[in-house]
Chain A
């Protein structure tokens, strides 16, 4: 092997990160631009989340907590829509709650869009509590009475004037809480609401957080886990409504493959460099 070849192999271990960024950009963009699709297979964690909601009797109340904003919207909004479709299809009542102020319009847009698809009526089939600051304090107070923190809904309408809220006072009247999480609220739901009020929980989290949530799933503290865009795509498949989650799967697949190829190239470079240094 001559010096030039060695230099080339070693260069594989020191690729300028801008090339990596370019390749990742392309493998994400091209499948979306050309509408490439891939078959999605459902994992037990997502199936468990689906089954928990699927078992609920008609008229049960599902509370969905919007704990994200525009940043993680591409991952979590498809989850929200898929879960809403499932709930409305089964004639479950939905309450939306927000712990991230900038998530308020995003959650509301998703709710109104899906409710319209199913012809649901605000205040009868679904409602939005809006945002309240105070995280844990709000969660704990809702264990006694929702009205102690939310005097009205997102538009200021008194809760008692909404037909669906007449008999809903605290977690005992809510069958399942679904937390869609981009931050620490998921931990609070588990540590305060599940631990103290034995409330059934499902968490939908960004892919980067998923590994940290598995202990809750295995310990039975949450009934199901929907992780990242892949989880959203799986839920879309379960509700038989492929949407953005499915579109993103081809991009995500090829991005993962590209990262693995870069890791392999990096290691080739590393071993070539090590061999040369040993030879010296």
Chain B
């Protein structure tokens, strides 16, 4: 099995993705992965082969403006981001697919599932950001550009910031790898978070009709929001891994893949 990268034409330019190919790569259950902000499909790199080994045909796509997916000409909304999934499905000749979104990625897949329900098999919301409007308004001003300092302190401060929000981290190499995705996004790295706080996730989440799994892990920074989501939608399935942070895929790739595959392959 090898991980191959490629480009697909999307609504705002090119979309970049990572997929598993080769023997044992699984040609069965189609799954698209949508990463958190401000990261890239590299967030899922440790989980791709475990997922493929469990029979999933998995594609991790870079959100426009992240990784190697082109940035739209305007600052995008979550609705804009949600337009990346149909071209990916068309490219792989999938009339419908399962989608998993992690944190802000869960907003992207939710927006898609509400607007294009016919193209969705099952949904996995891995840490759904079901903020109230007040919580969103409170957070909205924060994301913004960060100046380059002549002494390079912008880099050390930002890295420290990431360490600090990843409470209970165990993998500094994963921290570095994931932080590099933020730096790669350049000056507009903050767009995804801004869009997420502007997006009415709560309304779309409540309107979801697709079979949905709420997936979290017990020490994730928005674990409490997964509990809120559970209470709001008791009809949805729920699973959680023990421990871990928002770098859960790097921390527990096999367990994460197993939880994902189990839900998608179940009736």
Q: Do A and B come from one complex?
A: no
